[in-house]
């Protein structure tokens, strides 16, 4: 089974721009979660999508948004980029079944650098 | 204060040593506890998953959860250079898909 794929792997943007990151979950998985990883704050939960609906949301500003398509692929968008948005953005997929028993499988991440 | 505290290390041990990694937490609602391993430039990989208190063993790895003390541990026996990575504890209250992570401990196992 192919793992979670994320594209692009690396991105360089300038302040004020916007960016869209893509995540393809493991085949059959319906839940996609997004995390931000920085040296200072570690891994922080952004949001989770299940069946094209946002099910959970972390404590991030509205500049961070996402969506999920009918094939479970998900995109994350960050508008008006700030220097502090430089991070590794990780996507994780799960089957989306009974809460608490799912295993999250992470992709390799997209490393975003904001100049 | 962060909900999950983890000593960032770095921790350096000789090959064959027993490694002990720990996290403390403040949210008593946490009931699902996980340990992830992350190699450089890779995504985290799930190592151990425990529900509520108790011990769980898988090969060279043992996870312990003490909810009364709000303390979890991961033990690695007979450590190998291939175990060199960052180890992240993670926990959740109701959904395994919304995890709160520790800051990670960087481990190096010297041959």
B49 interaction partners in chain A (CB closer than 8 Å): 103
Question: Can you give the pLDDT at residue B96?
Answer: 58
Q: What is the pLDDT of residues A74-91, one digit of tens each?
A: 999 999 999 999 999 999
Strands in chain A per DSSP E: 5-7, 10-13, 19-24, 31-38, 42-50, 53-57, 64-68, 74-78, 87-94, 105-106, 110-114
Q: What is the pLDDT of residues A15-58, one digit of tens each?
A: 999 999 999 999 989 999 999 999 888 999 999 999 999 988 99
Of all residues in chain B, the one with the smallest CA distance to A38 is B103
How many CB atoms within 10 Å of residue B33? 25
CA distance B97 to B92: 8
Give me the residue from B43, B94, B103 closest to A106, CB to CB: B43
* Higher pLDDT among residues B100 and B94, named by residue: B100
Whether A43 sits inside 8 A of B90 (CB atoms) is: yes
* The pLDDT of residue A98 is above 60: no
Question: Can you give the pLDDT at residue A97?
Answer: 57
Give me the residue from A42, A56, A109 closest to B101, CB to CB: A42
Calculated CA dihedral for residues A32, A25, A96, A1, nearest 10 degrees: -160
Give me the residue from B31, B98, B101 closest to A48, CB to CB: B98
Q: How many residues does chain B have?
A: 111
Q: What is the pLDDT of residues B18-70, one digit of tens each?
A: 999 999 999 999 988 999 999 988 899 999 988 888 899 999 999 999 999 99
Question: Can you give the pLDDT at residue B50?
Answer: 87
Whether B95 sits inside 8 A of A92 (CB atoms) is: no
Q: Answer whether A112's CB lies under 8 Å from A87's CB.
A: yes
Take residue A82 and report the two structure tokens written for it.
């700030």
User: HEC string of chain B?
Assistant: CCCEEECCCCEEEECCCCEEEEEEECCCCCCEEEEEEECCCCCCEEEEEEECCEEEEECCEEEEEECCCCEEEEEECCCCHHHCEEEEEEEECCCCCCCEECCCEEEEEEC
Question: Can you give the pLDDT at residue B93?
Answer: 86
Question: Can you give the pLDDT at residue B1?
Answer: 76
* The pLDDT of residue A1 is above 60: yes
CA distance B58 to B69: 23
Question: Can you give the pLDDT at residue A90?
Answer: 97
Take residue A29 and report the two structure tokens written for it.
């998985």
């Amino acid at each position: 089974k192919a793992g979670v794929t994320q594209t692009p792997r690396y991105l360089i943007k300038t302040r004020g721009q916007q960016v869209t990151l893509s995540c393809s979950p493991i085949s059959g998985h319906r839940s996609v979660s997004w995390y931000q990883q920085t040296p200072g704050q570690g891994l922080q939960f952004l949001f989770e999508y299940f069946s094209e609906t946002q099910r959970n949301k972390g404590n991030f500003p509205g500049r961070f948004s996402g969506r999920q398509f009918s094939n479970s692929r998900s995109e994350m968008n960050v508008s008006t980029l700030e220097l502090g948005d430089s991070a590794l953005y990780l996507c994780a997929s799960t089957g989306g079944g009974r809460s608490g028993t799912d295993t999250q499988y992470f992709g390799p991440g997209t490393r975003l650098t904001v100049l | 204060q962060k909900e999950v505290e983890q000593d960032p290390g770095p921790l350096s041990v000789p090959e064959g040593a027993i490694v002990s990694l720990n996290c403390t937490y403040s949210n008593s609602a946490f009931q699902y506890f996980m340990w992830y391993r992350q190699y450089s430039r890779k995504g985290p990989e799930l190592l151990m998953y425990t529900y509520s208190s108790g011990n769980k063993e898988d090969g060279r790895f043992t996870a312990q959860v003490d909810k009364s003390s709000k303390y979890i541990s991961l033990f690695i026996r007979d450590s190998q250079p291939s175990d060199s990575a960052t180890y992240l504890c993670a926990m959740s209250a109701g959904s395994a898909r919304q995890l709160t992570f520790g800051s990670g401990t960087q481990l190096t196992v010297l041959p």
